[in-house]
Amino acid sequence: MNFKEGRAIQINPTATTIKSAVTLAGSKSFTNRALILAALSDGTTTLEQASLSDDSLLLQRSLNALGFESQIDGSSITIKGSNGEFPVRHTKLYCGAAGSTLRFLTALCALIEGGKIDLFGTERLSERPIADLGDALAKLGAGIEYLNNPGCAPVQVKGEKLTARDPLEISGAISSQFISALLMIAPKIETGLVLNVADKMVSSSYLEMTLSIMRSFGVEVEHDGLRVFRVPCQNYRSPGHYQIEGDASGASYFWGVAAITGGTIRVNNISLNSIQGDVQFIRILEQMGCTIVTGQDQNLPWIEVTGPEKLAAVEVDMTLMPDTAQTLAVLASVAKGKTVISGLSTLRHKETDRIAALCCELSRVGIKTESKEDQLVVYGGEPHGATIKTYEDHRMAMSFAVLGAKISGIEIANSDVISKSYPAFWRDFFCLIG
Protein backbone atom coordinates (compact mmCIF):
# COMPACT_ATOMS: atom_id res chain seq x y z
CA MET A 1 0.00 0.00 0.00
CA ASN A 2 1.35 3.42 -1.00
CA PHE A 3 -0.64 6.04 0.92
CA LYS A 4 0.05 9.58 2.02
CA GLU A 5 -2.68 11.89 3.31
CA GLY A 6 -4.06 14.01 0.49
CA ARG A 7 -2.14 12.12 -2.19
CA ALA A 8 -2.74 9.16 -4.44
CA ILE A 9 -3.15 5.54 -3.44
CA GLN A 10 -1.85 2.84 -5.77
CA ILE A 11 -3.81 -0.41 -5.63
CA ASN A 12 -2.36 -3.78 -6.55
CA PRO A 13 -4.85 -6.52 -7.45
CA THR A 14 -5.09 -9.40 -5.03
CA ALA A 15 -2.95 -12.37 -6.02
CA THR A 16 -5.19 -14.98 -4.40
CA THR A 17 -8.91 -15.57 -4.17
CA ILE A 18 -10.33 -13.43 -1.38
CA LYS A 19 -12.19 -15.06 1.49
CA SER A 20 -12.52 -12.54 4.28
CA ALA A 21 -14.84 -10.48 6.49
CA VAL A 22 -15.22 -6.87 7.61
CA THR A 23 -17.33 -5.24 10.33
CA LEU A 24 -19.03 -2.06 9.24
CA ALA A 25 -18.89 1.27 11.00
CA GLY A 26 -22.19 2.97 11.75
CA SER A 27 -24.35 4.53 9.06
CA LYS A 28 -23.76 8.26 8.48
CA SER A 29 -27.40 8.68 7.45
CA PHE A 30 -28.68 7.09 10.66
CA THR A 31 -26.17 8.98 12.81
CA ASN A 32 -27.01 12.43 11.43
CA ARG A 33 -30.74 11.98 11.90
CA ALA A 34 -30.28 10.57 15.39
CA LEU A 35 -28.08 13.52 16.37
CA ILE A 36 -30.83 16.00 15.46
CA LEU A 37 -33.51 14.06 17.34
CA ALA A 38 -31.27 13.54 20.37
CA ALA A 39 -30.74 17.31 20.54
CA LEU A 40 -34.51 17.92 20.40
CA SER A 41 -35.36 15.19 22.93
CA ASP A 42 -36.03 15.41 26.66
CA GLY A 43 -32.94 13.62 27.97
CA THR A 44 -29.45 12.30 27.37
CA THR A 45 -28.94 9.87 24.49
CA THR A 46 -25.91 7.73 23.67
CA LEU A 47 -25.59 6.75 20.02
CA GLU A 48 -23.77 3.41 19.95
CA GLN A 49 -21.52 2.52 16.99
CA ALA A 50 -22.07 6.01 15.58
CA SER A 51 -20.45 7.18 12.38
CA LEU A 52 -17.37 9.29 13.03
CA SER A 53 -17.27 10.51 9.44
CA ASP A 54 -16.50 14.11 8.56
CA ASP A 55 -20.19 14.79 7.89
CA SER A 56 -21.32 13.45 11.26
CA LEU A 57 -18.54 15.18 13.18
CA LEU A 58 -19.42 18.50 11.50
CA LEU A 59 -23.01 18.06 12.66
CA GLN A 60 -21.96 17.11 16.19
CA ARG A 61 -19.67 20.15 16.40
CA SER A 62 -22.41 22.41 15.08
CA LEU A 63 -24.75 21.17 17.80
CA ASN A 64 -22.01 21.96 20.32
CA ALA A 65 -21.81 25.47 18.85
CA LEU A 66 -25.58 25.81 19.40
CA GLY A 67 -24.99 25.04 23.07
CA PHE A 68 -25.85 21.33 23.22
CA GLU A 69 -23.57 19.23 25.39
CA SER A 70 -22.09 16.26 23.56
CA GLN A 71 -19.01 14.11 23.71
CA ILE A 72 -17.39 11.27 21.81
CA ASP A 73 -16.17 8.14 23.57
CA GLY A 74 -14.72 5.55 21.22
CA SER A 75 -17.43 4.85 18.66
CA SER A 76 -20.23 6.37 20.76
CA ILE A 77 -21.61 9.92 20.77
CA THR A 78 -23.53 11.10 23.83
CA ILE A 79 -25.68 14.22 23.56
CA LYS A 80 -27.84 15.99 26.12
CA GLY A 81 -31.16 17.10 24.67
CA SER A 82 -32.94 20.33 25.58
CA ASN A 83 -36.54 19.45 24.64
CA GLY A 84 -36.67 22.16 21.99
CA GLU A 85 -34.83 24.90 23.91
CA PHE A 86 -31.71 26.41 22.35
CA PRO A 87 -28.87 27.65 24.57
CA VAL A 88 -27.22 29.68 21.76
CA ARG A 89 -29.18 31.94 19.42
CA HIS A 90 -26.50 33.72 17.39
CA THR A 91 -23.56 31.92 15.76
CA LYS A 92 -22.04 30.69 12.51
CA LEU A 93 -21.99 27.01 11.59
CA TYR A 94 -19.50 25.43 9.17
CA CYS A 95 -21.01 22.49 7.28
CA GLY A 96 -18.02 21.54 5.11
CA ALA A 97 -19.18 19.60 2.05
CA ALA A 98 -22.01 17.88 3.95
CA GLY A 99 -25.38 18.30 2.25
CA SER A 100 -27.39 16.52 4.95
CA THR A 101 -25.64 18.52 7.69
CA LEU A 102 -26.53 21.81 5.99
CA ARG A 103 -30.13 20.83 5.28
CA PHE A 104 -30.90 19.34 8.69
CA LEU A 105 -29.31 22.29 10.50
CA THR A 106 -31.12 24.85 8.34
CA ALA A 107 -34.45 23.38 9.46
CA LEU A 108 -33.31 23.00 13.08
CA CYS A 109 -32.17 26.63 13.28
CA ALA A 110 -35.57 27.80 12.04
CA LEU A 111 -36.91 26.69 15.45
CA ILE A 112 -34.65 29.12 17.35
CA GLU A 113 -37.02 31.97 18.21
CA GLY A 114 -35.13 35.24 17.93
CA GLY A 115 -32.10 33.42 16.56
CA LYS A 116 -29.83 34.43 13.70
CA ILE A 117 -27.60 31.63 12.43
CA ASP A 118 -25.30 31.73 9.40
CA LEU A 119 -24.62 28.36 7.73
CA PHE A 120 -21.81 27.98 5.20
CA GLY A 121 -19.49 25.38 3.72
CA THR A 122 -17.22 24.46 0.83
CA GLU A 123 -17.45 25.85 -2.69
CA ARG A 124 -19.27 22.71 -3.87
CA LEU A 125 -21.75 22.88 -1.00
CA SER A 126 -22.53 26.43 -2.11
CA GLU A 127 -23.65 25.01 -5.47
CA ARG A 128 -26.01 22.39 -4.05
CA PRO A 129 -29.67 23.45 -3.95
CA ILE A 130 -31.65 24.17 -0.78
CA ALA A 131 -34.25 26.56 -2.23
CA ASP A 132 -37.20 24.17 -1.84
CA LEU A 133 -36.38 23.72 1.84
CA GLY A 134 -35.79 27.44 2.34
CA ASP A 135 -39.11 28.31 0.69
CA ALA A 136 -40.94 25.82 2.90
CA LEU A 137 -39.36 27.19 6.08
CA ALA A 138 -40.19 30.74 5.01
CA LYS A 139 -43.85 29.74 4.63
CA LEU A 140 -43.73 28.48 8.22
CA GLY A 141 -42.48 31.88 9.36
CA ALA A 142 -38.69 31.59 9.39
CA GLY A 143 -36.48 34.27 7.89
CA ILE A 144 -34.33 32.81 5.11
CA GLU A 145 -31.69 34.96 3.43
CA TYR A 146 -29.21 33.62 0.89
CA LEU A 147 -25.95 35.48 1.38
CA ASN A 148 -24.42 34.80 -2.03
CA ASN A 149 -26.20 32.72 -4.67
CA PRO A 150 -30.03 32.49 -4.55
CA GLY A 151 -31.22 29.12 -3.27
CA CYS A 152 -27.80 27.99 -2.01
CA ALA A 153 -25.52 28.32 0.99
CA PRO A 154 -24.27 30.42 2.62
CA VAL A 155 -27.67 31.05 4.16
CA GLN A 156 -28.78 33.06 7.17
CA VAL A 157 -31.65 31.60 9.16
CA LYS A 158 -33.68 33.85 11.45
CA GLY A 159 -35.68 31.58 13.71
CA GLU A 160 -39.26 32.35 14.70
CA LYS A 161 -42.22 30.67 16.34
CA LEU A 162 -43.16 28.49 13.41
CA THR A 163 -46.82 27.91 12.52
CA ALA A 164 -48.55 25.78 9.90
CA ARG A 165 -52.26 26.64 9.74
CA ASP A 166 -52.51 25.12 6.28
CA PRO A 167 -50.89 22.09 4.67
CA LEU A 168 -47.37 22.75 3.42
CA GLU A 169 -46.36 21.52 -0.04
CA ILE A 170 -42.83 20.65 -1.12
CA SER A 171 -41.30 18.98 -4.15
CA GLY A 172 -39.87 15.50 -3.75
CA ALA A 173 -37.92 15.65 -7.01
CA ILE A 174 -34.59 17.13 -5.87
CA SER A 175 -33.79 15.58 -2.49
CA SER A 176 -35.64 13.60 0.16
CA GLN A 177 -33.42 15.38 2.71
CA PHE A 178 -35.63 18.47 2.45
CA ILE A 179 -38.62 16.39 3.54
CA SER A 180 -36.66 14.61 6.28
CA ALA A 181 -35.47 17.97 7.62
CA LEU A 182 -39.04 19.28 7.84
CA LEU A 183 -40.39 16.07 9.37
CA MET A 184 -37.78 16.07 12.13
CA ILE A 185 -38.66 19.59 13.30
CA ALA A 186 -42.42 19.14 12.76
CA PRO A 187 -43.21 17.84 16.30
CA LYS A 188 -41.78 21.09 17.75
CA ILE A 189 -44.16 23.27 15.69
CA GLU A 190 -47.02 24.32 17.98
CA THR A 191 -49.65 23.82 15.27
CA GLY A 192 -48.15 20.54 14.10
CA LEU A 193 -47.55 20.05 10.39
CA VAL A 194 -49.33 18.52 7.43
CA LEU A 195 -46.79 18.07 4.64
CA ASN A 196 -47.79 17.24 1.07
CA VAL A 197 -45.17 15.96 -1.38
CA ALA A 198 -45.66 17.23 -4.91
CA ASP A 199 -44.50 15.53 -8.13
CA LYS A 200 -42.16 12.54 -8.02
CA MET A 201 -40.32 11.28 -4.96
CA VAL A 202 -36.60 10.43 -5.05
CA SER A 203 -34.71 8.34 -2.49
CA SER A 204 -37.88 7.45 -0.58
CA SER A 205 -36.03 4.78 1.42
CA TYR A 206 -34.34 7.61 3.33
CA LEU A 207 -37.76 8.90 4.40
CA GLU A 208 -38.53 5.44 5.80
CA MET A 209 -35.28 5.75 7.75
CA THR A 210 -36.30 9.16 9.12
CA LEU A 211 -39.70 7.87 10.22
CA SER A 212 -38.10 4.85 11.89
CA ILE A 213 -35.70 6.98 13.92
CA MET A 214 -38.48 9.40 14.90
CA ARG A 215 -40.44 6.38 16.13
CA SER A 216 -37.48 5.31 18.27
CA PHE A 217 -37.56 8.78 19.86
CA GLY A 218 -41.26 8.46 20.68
CA VAL A 219 -42.88 10.24 17.72
CA GLU A 220 -45.30 8.52 15.35
CA VAL A 221 -46.00 10.08 11.97
CA GLU A 222 -49.15 9.30 10.01
CA HIS A 223 -48.64 9.22 6.26
CA ASP A 224 -50.37 8.18 3.08
CA GLY A 225 -47.82 6.24 1.07
CA LEU A 226 -45.06 8.79 1.80
CA ARG A 227 -47.07 11.44 -0.08
CA VAL A 228 -48.95 13.17 2.76
CA PHE A 229 -47.49 13.37 6.28
CA ARG A 230 -49.39 14.42 9.42
CA VAL A 231 -47.27 15.30 12.45
CA PRO A 232 -48.95 16.61 15.62
CA CYS A 233 -47.10 18.81 18.11
CA GLN A 234 -45.41 16.54 20.66
CA ASN A 235 -42.16 15.93 22.52
CA TYR A 236 -39.32 13.67 21.56
CA ARG A 237 -38.41 11.16 24.29
CA SER A 238 -34.83 9.98 24.55
CA PRO A 239 -34.42 6.20 24.26
CA GLY A 240 -31.31 6.46 26.45
CA HIS A 241 -29.22 4.32 24.12
CA TYR A 242 -29.68 4.05 20.37
CA GLN A 243 -27.80 1.48 18.27
CA ILE A 244 -26.65 2.73 14.86
CA GLU A 245 -26.82 0.19 12.04
CA GLY A 246 -23.83 -0.53 9.85
CA ASP A 247 -23.54 1.61 6.73
CA ALA A 248 -25.11 -0.21 3.78
CA SER A 249 -23.57 2.24 1.30
CA GLY A 250 -20.14 1.39 2.69
CA ALA A 251 -20.95 -2.31 2.48
CA SER A 252 -21.50 -2.03 -1.27
CA TYR A 253 -17.77 -1.52 -1.91
CA PHE A 254 -16.78 -4.74 -0.14
CA TRP A 255 -19.55 -6.74 -1.78
CA GLY A 256 -18.33 -5.17 -5.03
CA VAL A 257 -14.79 -6.44 -4.39
CA ALA A 258 -16.16 -9.97 -3.94
CA ALA A 259 -18.22 -9.63 -7.12
CA ILE A 260 -15.42 -8.32 -9.31
CA THR A 261 -12.72 -10.74 -8.08
CA GLY A 262 -14.79 -13.91 -7.72
CA GLY A 263 -13.97 -13.96 -4.02
CA THR A 264 -16.10 -14.23 -0.89
CA ILE A 265 -16.56 -11.34 1.54
CA ARG A 266 -18.77 -11.33 4.62
CA VAL A 267 -19.92 -7.92 5.88
CA ASN A 268 -20.91 -7.85 9.55
CA ASN A 269 -23.37 -5.49 11.25
CA ILE A 270 -25.82 -5.34 8.35
CA SER A 271 -29.06 -7.25 7.82
CA LEU A 272 -31.42 -7.92 4.94
CA ASN A 273 -34.12 -6.48 7.19
CA SER A 274 -32.41 -3.07 7.22
CA ILE A 275 -34.55 -0.15 6.10
CA GLN A 276 -31.52 1.32 4.35
CA GLY A 277 -32.37 1.21 0.68
CA ASP A 278 -28.76 0.47 -0.26
CA VAL A 279 -28.90 -2.98 1.31
CA GLN A 280 -30.93 -4.05 -1.75
CA PHE A 281 -27.78 -3.61 -3.81
CA ILE A 282 -27.11 -7.28 -3.15
CA ARG A 283 -30.19 -8.15 -5.25
CA ILE A 284 -28.53 -6.47 -8.21
CA LEU A 285 -25.39 -8.48 -7.51
CA GLU A 286 -27.53 -11.63 -7.60
CA GLN A 287 -28.76 -10.63 -11.05
CA MET A 288 -25.14 -10.23 -12.11
CA GLY A 289 -24.37 -13.81 -11.04
CA CYS A 290 -23.26 -13.45 -7.41
CA THR A 291 -24.24 -15.85 -4.63
CA ILE A 292 -25.70 -14.32 -1.46
CA VAL A 293 -25.71 -15.93 2.00
CA THR A 294 -27.02 -14.30 5.19
CA GLY A 295 -26.74 -15.21 8.86
CA GLN A 296 -26.08 -14.06 12.39
CA ASP A 297 -23.14 -14.56 14.72
CA GLN A 298 -23.39 -13.62 18.41
CA ASN A 299 -26.39 -11.39 17.69
CA LEU A 300 -24.47 -9.63 14.92
CA PRO A 301 -26.15 -10.03 11.48
CA TRP A 302 -24.07 -10.48 8.36
CA ILE A 303 -24.43 -10.70 4.58
CA GLU A 304 -21.89 -12.62 2.51
CA VAL A 305 -21.32 -12.24 -1.24
CA THR A 306 -19.40 -14.62 -3.51
CA GLY A 307 -18.60 -13.40 -7.00
CA PRO A 308 -19.00 -15.44 -10.22
CA GLU A 309 -16.37 -16.24 -12.81
CA LYS A 310 -17.82 -13.49 -15.05
CA LEU A 311 -20.31 -10.79 -14.11
CA ALA A 312 -23.41 -10.36 -16.26
CA ALA A 313 -24.76 -7.01 -17.42
CA VAL A 314 -28.05 -5.79 -15.93
CA GLU A 315 -30.76 -3.19 -16.50
CA VAL A 316 -31.86 -1.64 -13.20
CA ASP A 317 -33.63 1.35 -11.64
CA MET A 318 -31.62 2.72 -8.70
CA THR A 319 -34.05 5.38 -7.49
CA LEU A 320 -34.12 3.77 -4.03
CA MET A 321 -30.35 3.23 -3.77
CA PRO A 322 -28.57 6.06 -5.63
CA ASP A 323 -25.45 5.98 -3.43
CA THR A 324 -24.52 2.55 -4.81
CA ALA A 325 -24.81 3.57 -8.46
CA GLN A 326 -21.09 4.33 -8.77
CA THR A 327 -20.21 0.89 -7.41
CA LEU A 328 -22.49 -0.73 -9.98
CA ALA A 329 -21.05 1.36 -12.82
CA VAL A 330 -17.54 0.15 -11.93
CA LEU A 331 -18.69 -3.48 -11.80
CA ALA A 332 -20.45 -3.01 -15.14
CA SER A 333 -17.12 -2.04 -16.71
CA VAL A 334 -15.99 -5.68 -16.53
CA ALA A 335 -19.42 -7.31 -17.01
CA LYS A 336 -20.43 -9.14 -20.17
CA GLY A 337 -22.79 -6.92 -22.14
CA LYS A 338 -24.44 -3.50 -21.77
CA THR A 339 -25.57 -2.32 -18.34
CA VAL A 340 -28.34 0.30 -18.18
CA ILE A 341 -28.66 2.19 -14.88
CA SER A 342 -31.65 4.52 -14.50
CA GLY A 343 -33.23 6.51 -11.66
CA LEU A 344 -30.11 8.64 -11.21
CA SER A 345 -31.51 12.20 -11.28
CA THR A 346 -30.20 13.00 -7.79
CA LEU A 347 -26.62 12.17 -8.81
CA ARG A 348 -26.39 15.47 -10.67
CA HIS A 349 -26.68 17.33 -7.33
CA LYS A 350 -24.27 15.39 -5.12
CA GLU A 351 -20.67 16.18 -4.11
CA THR A 352 -20.06 16.38 -7.85
CA ASP A 353 -22.14 15.62 -10.93
CA ARG A 354 -21.64 11.92 -10.44
CA ILE A 355 -22.99 10.86 -13.84
CA ALA A 356 -20.56 13.15 -15.67
CA ALA A 357 -17.70 12.09 -13.37
CA LEU A 358 -18.40 8.40 -13.97
CA CYS A 359 -18.44 8.87 -17.75
CA CYS A 360 -15.12 10.71 -17.62
CA GLU A 361 -13.30 8.25 -15.35
CA LEU A 362 -14.67 5.11 -17.04
CA SER A 363 -13.47 6.58 -20.34
CA ARG A 364 -10.08 7.11 -18.69
CA VAL A 365 -9.82 3.32 -18.10
CA GLY A 366 -10.98 2.53 -21.64
CA ILE A 367 -14.70 1.87 -21.08
CA LYS A 368 -17.45 3.28 -23.33
CA THR A 369 -20.44 4.97 -21.69
CA GLU A 370 -23.53 6.94 -22.67
CA SER A 371 -25.56 9.20 -20.42
CA LYS A 372 -28.84 11.07 -20.19
CA GLU A 373 -30.17 13.32 -17.44
CA ASP A 374 -31.04 10.40 -15.13
CA GLN A 375 -29.49 7.40 -16.87
CA LEU A 376 -26.08 5.86 -17.43
CA VAL A 377 -25.20 3.11 -19.92
CA VAL A 378 -21.95 1.20 -19.42
CA TYR A 379 -20.54 -1.14 -22.07
CA GLY A 380 -18.57 -3.90 -20.42
CA GLY A 381 -15.06 -4.48 -21.70
CA GLU A 382 -11.47 -4.78 -20.57
CA PRO A 383 -10.56 -1.73 -18.49
CA HIS A 384 -6.93 -0.78 -18.04
CA GLY A 385 -5.00 1.07 -15.37
CA ALA A 386 -5.20 4.84 -14.90
CA THR A 387 -5.10 7.54 -12.26
CA ILE A 388 -8.69 8.18 -11.20
CA LYS A 389 -9.79 11.71 -10.38
CA THR A 390 -12.12 11.87 -7.39
CA TYR A 391 -13.71 15.34 -7.79
CA GLU A 392 -13.71 15.83 -4.01
CA ASP A 393 -16.25 12.99 -3.91
CA HIS A 394 -15.76 10.17 -1.40
CA ARG A 395 -17.84 7.72 -3.42
CA MET A 396 -15.76 8.19 -6.57
CA ALA A 397 -12.68 7.15 -4.58
CA MET A 398 -14.27 4.10 -2.94
CA SER A 399 -16.09 2.81 -6.02
CA PHE A 400 -13.00 2.92 -8.25
CA ALA A 401 -10.97 1.25 -5.49
CA VAL A 402 -13.18 -1.78 -6.27
CA LEU A 403 -11.81 -1.80 -9.82
CA GLY A 404 -8.26 -1.73 -8.41
CA ALA A 405 -8.91 -5.06 -6.68
CA LYS A 406 -9.00 -6.65 -10.14
CA ILE A 407 -7.19 -4.37 -12.62
CA SER A 408 -3.49 -3.46 -12.40
CA GLY A 409 -2.42 0.17 -12.48
CA ILE A 410 -5.39 1.79 -10.75
CA GLU A 411 -4.37 4.82 -8.71
CA ILE A 412 -6.86 6.89 -6.69
CA ALA A 413 -6.06 10.60 -6.55
CA ASN A 414 -6.83 12.67 -3.42
CA SER A 415 -7.54 9.47 -1.55
CA ASP A 416 -8.32 11.18 1.75
CA VAL A 417 -11.75 12.30 0.48
CA ILE A 418 -13.13 9.03 1.90
CA SER A 419 -13.16 10.60 5.39
CA LYS A 420 -16.40 12.37 4.44
CA SER A 421 -18.35 9.17 5.06
CA TYR A 422 -15.94 6.31 5.89
CA PRO A 423 -12.66 7.39 7.57
CA ALA A 424 -11.47 3.79 8.04
CA PHE A 425 -12.17 2.72 4.47
CA TRP A 426 -8.57 2.30 3.29
CA ARG A 427 -7.63 0.33 6.40
CA ASP A 428 -10.57 -2.04 5.91
CA PHE A 429 -10.07 -2.25 2.15
CA PHE A 430 -6.40 -3.22 2.28
CA CYS A 431 -7.04 -5.70 5.07
CA LEU A 432 -9.37 -7.51 2.66
CA ILE A 433 -7.28 -7.52 -0.51
CA GLY A 434 -3.89 -7.88 1.18
Catalytic residue annotation: 323
Query: What does the alpha-carbon distance between residue 60 and residue 113 come to, in Å, rounded to a whole number?
Result: 21
Query: What does the alpha-carbon distance between residue 363 and residue 377 come to, in Å, rounded to a whole number?
Result: 12
Burial (CB count <10 Å: 0-12, 13-18, 19+), residue 5 = exposed
Distance from the first to the final alpha carbon of the chain: 9
Q: Which of 49, 119, 48, 108 is nearest to 82 (CA)?
A: 108
Query: What does the alpha-carbon distance between residue 301 and residue 365 come to, in Å, rounded to a whole number?
Result: 36
What pairing do the DSSP bridges indicate for beta strands 155-158 and 168-171?
Answer: unpaired
Query: What does the alpha-carbon distance between residue 329 and residue 324 come to, in Å, rounded to a whole number?
Result: 9
Coil, helix or strand for 65? helix
Query: Residue 233, Cβ neighbours under 10 Å: how many?
Result: 13
Query: What does the alpha-carbon distance between residue 277 and residue 168 come to, in Å, rounded to a whole number?
Result: 26
Question: Peptide bond preceding 154: is omega within 30 degrees of 0, i.e. cis?
Answer: yes
